Structures are given as structure tokens and as C-alpha cells.
């Protein structure tokens, strides 16, 4: 199974409309409203990379009110997934969450993934192809806790050059 994350910038105030349209695309397994540089983060899964590219160019980018997208293709190397579907739904409802993109040397990816797996709040992580090497999802009681986890634990992992945090807006989006 091939996976990708698509970060979306849309016209101001049009997030709900864009997310509603994203629900009609079967390959999209998750869509989250976010705050920061991007308005929405989606996760796609498909049988092959060509279908992912087709969905992005022919379906996602054709949705009205989308101004820009950034695609993060997931590498075929094993990732981290610590929660079941039911647990993810509970986290989506009650916890502060964020995705963190990580820039590092390709040679450091495996060691960084091992370190991320040891952090209880890291509930998901994938190695990427392209602009960033790793993306991980973290959950904590508050956004202040997320900030502390990123600054005191994730950024302290040897080999990480930089990170970008994409905070999720609870109750804006969907999970299949």
C-alpha cells in the first residue's frame, strides 16, 4: 500500500467546504483542519504511486478554493503506528495533536525513527521521499504539552536538523 500526505493551503475561511469535498475522494483516509502555514493536512492510501499522483492532480487540486498543495510521499520503509482505529478516534476527539515534519540526513532516518518510537506521545511516524525525511503525529493533553514534547524531546534527538509543527484543529476533519 502506497501512502502520501498532502498539505493544503485554501482560501481563508473555506476549510469546511474543502474538507467536505475531500470526503468524496475514497483514497483519502484522513483530513485534518490545521493552523499555521497550512490549512488542511490529508493522508492518502492507494495500491500504487501513480494512483496517488492522479488523485492529487485530478481530484484534490481541482477542488475549488484550494490555492496550493505540498505532497509528501511516504517511503516504503516500515513506519510507526501505536494506536488502533478506536484509540485514534478518541485521541482525535479529546487530545491536542500535531504533525511534525523532520529534516535530517537520510543516513540518520532509522536511528531517529527508533528514538521517536520511544516517545510515548508519538503515535504515528513515516519516512518520506522528498523535502522532509520523516513525519510524525503526536498527541498530548494540551498544545503547551505538545510544544514541550517537540522542544525538549524530539528536537533533542541527535541528527535532526530542523522541524516544522502543524497543529491539528480538533473536530475539523474526518478519519475513515
pLDDT tens digits along 18-36: 999 999 999 999 999 999 8
Tell me the domains of the chain and their CATH numbers: 2-74 (3.30.70.920), 80-170 (3.30.70.920)
Predicted pLDDT at 66:
97
Q: Which residue has the higher pLDDT, 13 or 88?
A: 13
Q: What is the DSSP letter of 121?
A: T
Predicted pLDDT at 155:
97
C-alpha distances (whole Å) from 157 to each of 69, 94, 119, 138, 166 are 29, 28, 11, 15, 19
What pLDDT band is residue 167 in, cutting at 50, 70 and 90? Answer: very high
Q: Which of 116, 134, 106, 118 is nearest to 5 (CA)?
A: 134
112 and 104 in contact (C-beta within 8 Å)? yes
The pLDDT tens digits of the residues spanning 40-58 come to: 999 999 999 899 999 999 9
Regarding pTM above 0.85, the answer is yes
Tell me which residue has cell 476533519.
173
Q: Which of 157, 80, 76, 154 is nearest to 111 (CA)?
A: 157
Predicted pLDDT at 83:
80
Q: What is the DSSP letter of 82?
A: -
What are the respective helix, strand and coil percentages of the chain, to the nearest 5?
A: 30, 45, 25
71 and 4 in contact (C-beta within 8 Å)? yes
Q: Which of 120, 123, 22 is nearest to 69 (CA)?
A: 22
Q: Which of 64, 84, 77 is nearest to 24 (CA)?
A: 64
C-alpha distances (whole Å) from 165 to each of 21, 80, 101, 108, 122 are 25, 18, 7, 20, 13
Tell me which residue has cell 492518502.
44
Q: What is the DSSP letter of 109?
A: H
C-alpha cell read off for 150? 517537540
Predicted pLDDT at 151:
96
Predicted pLDDT at 39:
97
The pLDDT tens digits of the residues spanning 57-111 come to: 999 999 999 999 999 999 988 899 988 877 777 777 778 999 999 999 999 999 9
Amino acid at each position: 500500500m502506497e501512502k502520501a500526505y498532502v498539505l493544503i493551503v485554501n482560501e481563508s475561511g473555506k476549510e469546511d467546504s474543502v474538507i467536505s469535498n475531500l470526503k468524496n475522494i475514497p483514497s483519502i483516509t484522513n483530513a485534518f483542519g490545521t493552523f499555521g502555514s497550512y490549512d488542511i493536512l490529508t493522508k492518502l492510501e492507494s495500491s500504487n504511486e501513480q494512483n496517488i499522483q492522479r488523485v492529487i492532480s485530478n481530484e484534490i487540486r481541482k477542488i475549488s478554493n484550494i490555492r496550493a498543495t505540498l505532497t509528501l510521499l511516504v517511503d516504503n520503509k516500515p513506519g510507526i503506528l501505536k494506536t488502533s482505529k478506536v484509540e485514534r478516534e478518541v485521541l482525535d476527539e479529546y487530545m491536542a495533536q500535531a504533525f511534525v515534519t523532520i529534516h535530517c540526513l537520510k543516513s540518520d532516518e532509522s536511528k531517529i525513527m527508533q528514538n521517536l518510537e520511544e516517545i510515548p506521545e508519538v503515535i504515528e511516524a513515516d519516512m518520506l521521499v522528498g523535502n522532509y525525511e520523516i513525519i510524525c503525529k503526536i498527541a498530548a493533553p494540551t498544545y503547551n504539552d505538545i510544544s514541550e514534547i517537540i522542544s525538549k524531546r524530539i528536537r533533542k534527538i541527535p541528527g535532526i536538523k530542523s522541524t516544522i509543527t502543524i497543529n491539528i484543529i480538533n473536530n475539523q476533519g474526518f478519519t475513515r
